[in-house]
């Protein structure tokens, strides 16, 4: 039976090294998400993704769990994040997921809603935006996918280490979504609601756009906590809890 709800998660960063987060996500699929109208995964489902031949056990188990949810009648949609932008059609098919573009406007119970991973909203992080433009070019992605598995694994580890090092030298404000860019995106897409992840700062924000009070929902990460944004015909809510 459908619950009349739609769930949004992001930044789960699943890996074999963090079984607590994996277990909580699987319980979420069995309990909260079961019977939902849809589940949207707004990027960074995995800590790192080096190609659809990714060999972590969590990848195989997650595919089985998501496919089971989809087979039971809850569509599962996946949007690429900055950690798993190389996830492609083969794994999506194994997991019963439908790949969606970033950004995307969906109709949520009569309210047009903009969905994003959220990294493109962090326009003040100039170094990251330059890096993103380089590595997300289709030709570059294709070349990366064609590299030998072992080399891709080393490159991913090096990129992750470099990312963590770079973060240590940046302020929290630089790595957060820019209010001006949020308002530009809402205006450009003609909507008054935005749901995204990436920043790991779960909250509901209000942005004034052309005389309207527009809302922005930020989904939590699943490192030391878990949570989601859930929407129904009455509106949206944010749920955050400890692992």
Instruction: Domain 6-242: give its CATH code.
Output: 3.60.21.10
- Average confidence score pLDDT of the chain: 94
pLDDT at residue number 107: 97
Tell me the domain boundaries of the chain.
6-242
pLDDT of 101 > 90? The answer is yes
pLDDT confidence bin for 149, thresholds 50/70/90: confident
* pTM metric for this prediction: 0.94
Percent of the chain topping pLDDT 90: 82
pLDDT of 164 > 90? The answer is no
DSSP, collapsed to helix, strand or coil, labels residue 236 as strand
Supply the DSSP string of 60-100, one letter for each residue.
Answer: HHHHHHHHHHHHTT--EEEE--SSSTT--HHHHHHHTEEEE
Compute the distance between CA of residue 15 and CA of residue 49 in angstroms, rounded to an integer: 10
């Amino acid at each position: 039976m459908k619950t009349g709800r739609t769930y949004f998660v992001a930044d789960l960063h699943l890996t074999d090294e963090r079984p607590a987060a994996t277990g909580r996500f699987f319980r979420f699929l069995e309990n909260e998400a079961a019977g939902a109208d849809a589940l949207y995964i707004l990027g960074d489902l995995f800590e790192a993704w080096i190609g659809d031949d990714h060999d972590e056990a969590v990848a195989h188990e997650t595919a089985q769990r998501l496919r089971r949810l989809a087979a039971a009648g809850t569509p599962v949609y996946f949007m690429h994040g900055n950690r798993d932008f190389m996830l492609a059609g083969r794994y999506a098919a194994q997991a019963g997921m439908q790949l969606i573009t970033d950004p995307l406007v969906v109709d949520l119970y009569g309210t047009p809603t903009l969905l994003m991973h959220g990294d493109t909203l962090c326009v003040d992080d100039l170094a990251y935006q330059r890096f993103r433009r380089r590595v997300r070019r289709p030709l570059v992605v294709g070349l990366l996918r064609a590299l030998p598995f072992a080399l891709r694994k080393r490159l991913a580890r090096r990129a992750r280490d470099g990312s963590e090092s770079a973060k240590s030298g940046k302020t929290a404000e630089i790595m957060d979504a820019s209010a001006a860019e949020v308002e530009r995106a809402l205006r450009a897409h003609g909507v008054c609601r935005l749901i995204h992840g990436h920043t790991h700062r779960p909250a509901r924000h209000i942005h004034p756009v052309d005389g309207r009070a527009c809302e922005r929902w930020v989904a939590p990460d699943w490192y030391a906590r878990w949570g989601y944004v859930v929407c129904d015909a009455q509106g949206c809510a944010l749920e955050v809890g400890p692992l």
